[in-house]
Structures are given as structure tokens and as C-alpha cells.
Structure 1
Amino acid sequence: MPNVDRHGLVKPTPPDLMEDTGSGLDYGTRPDRMFGDIVGTDRFFVRSHADTPVIDAADWKLQITGDGVRQAVSLGYNDLRTNFPLTSIVRTIECAGNRRVQFGLEVGQTFEGTQWGRTAIGTAEWTGVRLRDLLESAGITADASEVVPESLDAIRARRPLPLAKALADDTIVAWAMNGEELPPDHGFPARLVVSGWLGAASIKWLGRIDVATQHVEVPWNTIDYVMIGPGYPAAGDQARGPAITEPALSSLVELPWPARLCPGPQIIRGRAFAGEARVTSVDYRIDDHAWQSATITSSGEPGVWARWQLRWDAQPGEHVLRVRAADDRGRVQPDSTPWNELGYMHESVLAHPISVGDNP
């Protein structure tokens, strides 16, 4: 195992690109600074539970162990890059606590945890190797049931995956992001990317992957990243509630909050995300007018957000824009979100304030 130092975050987090949550480690992407389908690495949101570890790739090893493999395997950085088929995927990652601030305003309380606004979501191109190929090099046993990746940061984060999800074509161990070497804050030298699941499943700074033949309970699927409250029964021996897998269905307007616009015809853009499902429609409503259909401008395939746009002839005054997404499972964003203790999975239609005047 390599020597690991720590020194906070590495990349700059300028306020014109990123929103400071106040934790010192967690910074979101300003929605008005998202331009293409892919979010630039310089502004991609950062969610960390401890300082970014400093890892020397020359010393780094990825250990594959557990009672669910026939032999333990140790892979170096060059092994990862040269000994397995290469794959690239475009996938969206979202923290389960995204929009926690809006959730708190909705129910009249402040939730514990990172105070995310709308900014803990981003899409990138991830390049690496399929997790399946790495596991097969160790020989998966017939009774293997869960895969448990572990990070090299100070808390040694672990989040179990069912074997079927670990073996999916689009679950990968990435060593590049947006065509460049994976940056330190985003998991160098290698991280997991779990398509359509909450960001906590995409473990950064991978150091070990255990394959287990039994269900594994860790803090990240029993105490944190679980739904606690009425309607959420405890699951497992220690779990306080059901573990979160996919993030909530949600939509995002690419404007500041609140927004200021000039009068006249406008094109307003945004994104919608449905986890492992596909976004099928996006509707919008200005003030108390009827709901109308926005135009979806990208496919919004499972695991990737859909981009949308609408045309509005903005008149001077104070307005409210509401946007709701629907997916191919028949889900539609509701007007309110059932309460849970940790403020996760906020999916409500947001009332986005917009002031239209001559001097935005």
C-alpha cells in the first residue's frame, strides 16, 4: 500500500465557477456555468469526506480480494492501463444530498450534512476498464454476491454493490476524466463509476475491492446514505433504513437562483436526470399559466442527464418558473418530497424566481 499524505483539495474552486457549501471540502458546479453536455473538469463538483490523499501512482496497487474470488490479485497503475480492454462512457454523477437546502426550505428545517443547493451533479466522459474484467482476472466464485470497493482516503469509504451491478457493462474503474488523467480531487489514480447510482457508490481513490459471498453492512449502507423516517422500514441487522441506490428524478434550470433577465424573447436551458431510467419529457410553467412542453435536445439515456430548452417572451416584473421531468417508468416530479431524517432524495418541482428588468 502506498504512503498517503493529505492536504485538503487540490484544484481551485473559484466562486464564479463553483458554489462553496461551507464544509471546506465540498463544492458544487454553478448551473449557469454549465455549457455543454459534459461539465468541464475545472468546474465539476467535488464531494469528499476527508482531505484529498496524495498517492504516488508508481507505488499504488489495487487489491482484489475476498471469499468470492478464487485468488487474490494485485494490480499496478500500468497493469490497469495496459492489460485490460479500454472503455469510455459518458455518465452523470449526483450526490444523494443534492438540493438538501431546498428540501429544508420546503419542510421548514435545516438538515444535517453538506448544505448542497442545486449544484452536486455533473456529467463527464470517464475512461478506464470494466470492473467486470478486473474481477474476472481474480476468478469470481459461483456464490459471490456483493462487491465492496474501498477508498484510500482517511475514512476508507466503502459502499457495497450487488454483483449484478458490479458486472454491468457501464460500471467501470476509471483512470481518466474528460480525456485527461484523473485529477486528484476526482479520485486519482483510479475511481469507480457506477452508472445511474448515487455518487457515494462511485468510490474515489480505489485501493481495494473485496468480493463477498454474504451481504456486507458498512456505515455507508446502514447509517449514512439510507432513508430514515416514516415509510422507510429498517433493512438488515444494523441498517437504520433502506440504502439509497439511484438518486431522485429531478430537473435543473441553468440560471442563477434567483435569476435576473432582460425583457424580450429568451431561450432558457436546463437538464433533467432519472438515474438508471430515461428522461422522456420535461414540462414547464411560467407563473400560473398552463404547463407546456419543453424541447429535449439530448437523448437522456439511462445514467445520463437529458438537456432541454424552452422559449419565453419575458415581460418585465417578477416571475416564477417551474419545471418537472418524467421518465420511462412513469415517474413524474411531484410538488413535495416525503420527509426523511437526513434530507436525501429531494425531487420536488422547484419554484425558480426570475426578475425581468432592464438591468439584469
Structure 2
Amino acid sequence: MAVGAGARVAEGARSSITAIRRALRLPAPEATVTVPEGADLGIRGLSPLYTPNDEFYRVDTALTVPQVDPTTWRLVVDGRVDEPFELSFDDLVGMGLDEYSITLTCVSNEVGGDLVGTALWWGVPVREILRRARPHGDADMVLSHSIDGFTASTPLAALTDDGLDAILAVAMNGEPLPLDHGFPVRMVVPGLYGYVSATKWLTRLQVTTFAEDEAYWTPRGYSAQAPIKFSSRIDTPRPGTSVEAGRVALAGVAWAQGVGIDRVEVRIDEGEWQAATLSVPVNADTWVQWALPWDATPGTHFVTVRAVNAAGEVQTADRAPIAPDGSTGRQRVLLTVV
């Protein structure tokens, strides 16, 4: 099994979780993501389709990164269920891994911010685990617990829907989860902000109700439920930079999880909205890249971007702060052309 082989190699370095992780050999996923041609536009300064692990944003409540040994790790599944049980790491991996392409976003991400990233995750659907536990009919929430005391309140429906790929992830971009991204096991739920779904260093899934329990951030002024608001971002040219007059590549990313992006539009100063070229989407849970060539003239110019999702909704211009359930608005940057 996964831990058996790796942990024996690292037996003499049991005190070093880094060494154990390095020795860990996970089985290849049974199903993999097909990345279509044209999914990455390859424009300089544009975020790559998949964010490297060492560049992926990190937001959590851990003052120090927890050191969790997969050989002793256990997941408790209990609460309002008919069959509470525990899983070891080998039990989880033995259920069979699949690969998923999912963008994650933090509720603290301001419009145009960098608290968003995309990775290829290996994991097991949460619905398979909850199906074994058999939640009670009155349950509507799963309170996921981290070893550091953090909790997240995820709607039960988001974890049991056959059409949603909520997973317990053990690998990120082809390698075991980095320690600071939740090694050995974390949750990844497309379409929900991380504070209500993306629990790292996971130890417990407690089936409960929103009326009975609340998660870490709820009494601190954030909503108990928080679907990700679709948005767009300008990656290049960087805000506040100077560019030479002539043909300039404007480019960035946009996301509308569970729905998908229909188009991205860009406006120069107060001109007409222009449709950008989109990359070929991997799926509705993965951001897309966009690009628009611009014949820049000398002076200062404002560049604004907005997305339109596949349901025909236009990204709102109304500004809202990150609390209680995510920021809104359109990114507008000032560029100087020389």
C-alpha cells in the first residue's frame, strides 16, 4: 500500500515528516485529466494554466505548519450518520485515486488579487466516503476538522452530488501534498471559497446541521455558506507599469466554477467593450486564460476587464468587500504608454 512502501524506507527518519513525504509513493490515478490543445495561451506574464506548488497561495489558521505522519493519520467520519467509521491513509488511497483539475479561491481575494490558483489534484470523492457513513435525512452540513483546530462548514449537498467533484486530495500537481498545503490529506471542493470547504490537515468529517454547529469563521463575521463569485483578472501588463507604444498583449484569467466562462471583454478608457480570445477550457471548474491585442497610443490609459459566464450573467461592476462572502467588482488598472 502507499504508506507501507514509503514509510519503511523512511523508518529511520520517522521524526522528519519531510523525509516521510519524500519517500511516499502514491499509486497512479486511475482516471486522468485530458488537457486540450490551446488550454494554455503561452503569453509572457500570463499566469500558467497550472500554478506551481511553490507559487500556490497559502491562507490558513496554522501558526506553524502541522507535521502529520501518514502512517498514524486517521480520518474520523461521524455525527448524524448510521455508520460512523475511521479510515487510515492506506484505506483512503486504497479506494482508488482519480485526477481532477480544480481552481481554488480564497474569500480574502480582492478583485484582481492573487489568492487564486489552479492545480491537478489526486484524490477520492467525498461522496463515496459519506455514502458509506449513510448521513441522516435531517443533516445538511459537514463540519470538517483540521488538526490545528480549524473547522469549515460545507453544505452536505455539495459533497454528495454526483455532478460535483468534491474530493479528499492526497496529491497536488503530481506529487504528495506539500506540507503547507495540507499533507497528508486535505479537502478540495470546487465552487466554494476555501474557508467553507478546503480544510487542510484533515482529521474528521462530522455530519451535522447548520442550525446545530458553526465553523471557525462564522462567528467572526463570515457567511456559513459561500459559493465562489465568478470573476476576472488582468495579469499583464502589470498595474502601474509602463509599456511601449504599439502592439501590446493584454492578458489574464477568468473563472466561473460549475458554470464556465462564455466570454471575457476588455475596455480601454471609456471605449466599447471588446471580446478577448479565450483559451480552450479544461472544464467548468478550471479557470480560463484570455488575451486581447491592443494598439497602445502614448499617454495614460485605463484598462477594465469583465467576464460573462455560460449562463449569460455579466460580472457585476458593484464593489463589495471580502466579508461576509467574497468581493465583487471589476478590475480597472492604469497603464502608462511611452
Partner of 2:218: 222
Residue 286, structure 1, aligned to residue 289, structure 2: no
CA 1:279–1:160: 2 relative to 1, 3 Å: same
User: Which structure 2 residues correspond to residues 257-336 of structure 1 after superposition, within 5 A?
Assistant: 257-299=239-281, 301-336=283-318
Work out which of the residue numbers 65, 76, 85 in structure 1 matches 2:78: 65
Q: Deviations over 1:95-141 (max 9, x none)?
A: 11211xx6xxxxxxxxxxxxxx7110001111110111122233334
Q: Which of 199, 202, 212 in structure 2 is aligned with 1:203?
A: 199
Tell me the CA shift for residue 193 of structure 1.
0.5
The aligned amino acid for 2:154 is L
Residues 242, 335 of structure 2: 8 Å contact kept: yes
Q: Which residue does 1:245 correspond to in 2?
A: 226
The one-character-per-residue Cα deviations of 1:157-215 (angstroms, maximum 9, x if unpaired) are: 11222221111340000000011100011111100011111011111110011112674
Number of the residue aligned with 2:99: 88
How far apart are the structure 1 equivalents of 2:210 and 2:315? 36
CA distance in 2, matches of 1:339, 1:254: 21
Does structure 2 conserve the Cα–Cα contact (< 8 Å) formed by 1:175 and 1:188? yes
Q: Which runs of 5+ in 2 are unaligned?
A: 1-14, 18-43
After TM superposition, give the deviation of residue 5 of structure 1 in Å.
11
SS in 2 for 1:137: helix
Change (3 A) 1:225 1:39: farther
Question: Which one-letter code corresponds to 1:128 in the other structure?
Answer: G
Q: Is 1:176 the counterpart of 2:171 in the alignment?
A: yes
The equivalent residue for 2:24 is none
Q: Decide whether aligned partners of structure 1 residues 225 and 91 sit closer, same or farther in structure 2, where only a CA change above 3 A counts.
A: farther
What CA distance in whole angstroms lies between the structure 2 residues aligned with 1:263 and 1:126?
Answer: 41
Q: 1:145 to 1:297 in 2, by over 3 A?
A: same
Q: CA deviation at 1:321?
A: 0.7
Of the three residues 183, 186, 208, the one matched with 2:181 is: 186
Cα distance 1:206–1:63, how it changes in 2: closer, same or farther (>3 A)? Answer: same
Q: Secondary structure at the match of 1:333?
A: coil
* Cα separation, 1, equivalents of 2:47 and 2:210: 44
TM-score w.r.t. the length of structure 2 is: 0.79
- Mapped to 1, the partners of 2:210 and 2:260 lie a distance apart of 32
- Alpha-carbon separation, structure 2, partners of 1:187 and 1:225: 25
Give me the whole-angstrom Cα distance separating, in 2, the residues matched to 1:124 and 1:252: 18
Unmatched 5+ stretches in structure 1: 7-31, 103-116, 227-241
Of 100, 104, 109, the match for 1:98: 109
Please list the CA deviations of residues 264-299 of structure 1 after superposition, one character each: whole Å capped at 9, or x if unmatched.
212221111223322111110112221111111132
What CA deviation, in whole Å up to 9, does each residue of 1:306-328 have, x standing for no partner? 21111112223222110011113
Matched residues in 2 for 1:177 and 1:322: separation?
Answer: 33
Aligned-pair identity in percent equals 31
Q: Distance in 2 between matches of 1:54 and 1:253?
A: 37
The residue that corresponds to 1:36 in the other structure is 48
Query: Which residue of 148, 151, 161 corresponds with 2:154?
Result: 161
- Alpha-carbon distance, 1:147 to partner: 1.5
Match of 1:146? 141
- Quote the residue 2:10 is aligned against: none
Relative contact order higher in (CA < 8 Å, ≥ 6 apart):
2
- CA RMSD in angstroms comes to 2.7
Relative to the length of structure 1, the TM-score reads 0.75
Partner of 1:189, secondary structure, is coil
